[in-house]
Amino acid sequence: MDARAIAMGLTFALMWSSAFTSARIIVADASPLFSLALRFLVSGLIGVAIARCLGQTWRLNRLQWRATIIFGVCQNALYLGFNFVAMQTIQASLAAIIAATMPLLVALASWLLFKERLKPLGIAGLMAGVLGVGLIMGTRISAGVDLYGVMLCGFGVLALTVATLALRGATSGGNFMMVVGLQMLIGSALLFVAALLFEDIFINPTLSLALAFAYTTLVPGLIATFIWVLLLNRIGPLRAATFHFLNPVFGVAVASVLLGERLGVMDMVGVLIVTIGILAVQLSRQPAAATEPAVAE
């Protein structure tokens, strides 16, 4: 893994993790599904426009269309939709921790459903992840956390797992920015329908809402997703997924700095255990003697 890939991975992890904090700010002043639908509409149109300026086409191959649709539905509509609704009642740091278990679920699904061999280090990582999440949830439940919000985050991370398993097809054939823009527009269309059906739409215009919306639309929404797709193409999904071990740490840190969310001792221990578990799982899935893939220009 070269220095450019490492820099891309670190940048992606920080941007991705910061989205929970900006989402928490947004749902304080706007209905969650409608604001998320609007965010994806703006991001998607920008992404498609940039792609066209770069000479990219929406004539994707069959695998790209399949992965783009699944990714748009599962990540943008379901995963983020559930999380935006949940963060009306739970902290951004807790939502980030739950979402960070996605690599553990991907490894577990690959092991159980696709019969991928999991090394002892990976099994230990899965066990550590379960232990860490158990410590955090035990502490939060005893403190009176909203279980409905936790359940929504759980549904969301399951949807994100499906999206991640389906993303391999979107990383071949080029047109990366077009793929990003189109999957956002798919998510936007579904979320607008859900907003009309399931929530009372409101917007309380404030400076914090405007800043958070602009940030989450451009940075986690567009730039981070584009970096992630490029990273997948550069080093492959197994190596790229290693950077997800930073998400619980970055997510908690950003929420602490910007929102003043405090963690107890058991929370911090749990975050550390989950982080180590994710890293162990991802390292166990790396090829023993991998050769560096050709760099796409």
Q: 122-169: per-residue pLDDT in tens?
A: 888 888 888 888 888 888 787 788 899 999 999 999 998 887 776 654
- Please give the residue that has the higher pLDDT: either 189 or 228: 189
What is the rounded CA–CA span in Å between residue 21 and residue 115? 37
Average pLDDT for 44-49: 91
- The pLDDT tens digits of the residues spanning 241-263 come to 778 778 888 888 898 888 888 87
Coil, helix or strand at residue 30: strand
pLDDT at residue 193 in the model = 96
89: tokens are 């009642």
Q: How is 195-211 classified by DSSP, letter by letter?
A: HHHH----B---HHHHH
**186: Cα within 13 Å, side-chain hemisphere:** 19
Cβ distance 153 to 102 under 8 Å?
no
pLDDT at position 172 is 55
For the chain, the straight-line distance linking the first and the last C-alpha, in angstroms and rounded, comes to: 16
Answer whether 54's CB lies under 8 Å from 221's CB.
no
Is the pLDDT higher at 283 or at 217?
A: 217
Q: If you average pLDDT over every residue of the chain, what do you get?
A: 84
pLDDT of residue 246: 81
Enter the pTM of the model: 0.81
Q: Which of 25-39, 66-80, 137-151, 168-182 has the lowest mean pLDDT?
A: 168-182
Q: Does residue 33 carry a pLDDT above 90?
A: yes
Give per-residue burial for 67-100: e unless 16+ CB within 10 Å, then b.
bbebbbbbbbbbbbbbbbbbbeebbbbbbbbbbb
Q: Is the pLDDT of residue 170 over 80?
A: no
Distances (CA, A) of 216 to 24, 148, 209: 11, 24, 10
Select from 113, 220, 210 the least CA-distant residue to 228: 220
Pair 97, 155: CB distance under 8 Å: no
Give the per-residue pLDDT at 171. 52
pLDDT by residue (tens digit) across 230-240?
887 777 766 77
pLDDT digits (tens, 9 = 90+) for 260-277: 888 778 878 888 888 888
